[in-house]
Amino acid sequence: MSKNSTCPVCGAPTQAATRPFCSQHCADIDLGRWFSGQYRIPGPPADEENLEKPERNDER
């Protein structure tokens, strides 16, 4: 990564502590975009029949 990299959210110069972002605020904006589905990793839709179901642990 070059020393002159810019924040992917706002374009400001990055800071070492929050790289690749310029601030914690921009890092939080980016995380919110992932959580809301604005960012997606391309691929075929998941087939619900093939998804692993979590195991229930009824031992209490």
> Looking at residue 19, which CATH number applies to its domain?
3.30.50.10
pLDDT bracket for residue 47 (50, 70, 90): confident
Whether the pLDDT of residue 46 is over 60: the answer is yes
| Separation of alpha carbons 12 and 55, rounded Å | 46
Distance of CA 25 to the CA centre of its chain: 14
Whether the pLDDT of residue 2 is over 60: the answer is no
Residue 14, CB half-sphere, CA atoms under 13 Å: how many?
Answer: 16
Domain that holds residue 14: 1-39
Whether residue 8 lies inside any domain: the answer is yes
Whether residue 18 lies inside any domain: the answer is yes
Whether residue 44 lies inside any domain: the answer is no
Is 21 within 8 Å of 27 (Cβ atoms)? yes
Return the higher-pLDDT residue of 50 and 44: 44
Q: What is the pLDDT of residues 19-32, one digit of tens each?
A: 999 999 999 999 99
What per-residue confidence (pLDDT) applies to 52? 73
Whether residue 33 lies inside any domain: the answer is yes
Residues marked as binding for Zn(2+)? 7, 10, 22, 26
Residues marked as binding? 7, 10, 22, 26
In Å, what is the CA distance from 49 to each residue of 12, 15, 43?
45, 44, 17
- Model pTM above 0.95: no
- DSSP-assigned letter for residue 9: T
Whether residue 15 lies inside any domain: the answer is yes
